[in-house]
Amino acid sequence: MITRKNLMLHATILCMALFWANESHAAVDSYRYLHVTVETPYTIFLFLLAGILAPFVLMGILVWRFIGRKPETTDHLSISPEQEEGEE
């Protein structure tokens, strides 16, 4: 259970950590280590296109595999004629 003393201790530690951190940790340029060229948008597009089309390919494979099978008919909930006459 979180007590008021525990909460104050964690808040104090968080505040001290935030005051200790300076802006130099957040000043890293995001493009410094990433080599962006003209081909980058096309690569991202092809990666996302494959992710979008993958379910359709899987669906086609599954339909092709199971197209000749008939569904199993198991009537667990069927009512026999004797049961219908007894209810009336």
pTM for this structure? Answer: 0.40
pLDDT tens-digit readout, 20-69: 766 655 556 666 666 778 888 899 999 999 999 999 999 999 999 988 88
Per-residue pLDDT band for 15 (boundaries 50, 70, 90) equals confident
pLDDT value of residue 56: 96
3-state SS of 30-85 is CCCCCCCCCHHHHHHHHHHHHHHHHHHHHHHHHHHHHCCCCCCCCCCCCCCHHHHH
Residue type, 38: V
pLDDT value of residue 75: 59
pLDDT value of residue 61: 95
**Choice between 18 and 56, residue whose per-residue pLDDT is larger:** 56
Asked whether the predicted pLDDT for residue 3 surpasses 80, the reply is: yes
CA atoms within 13 A on the CB side of 66: 9
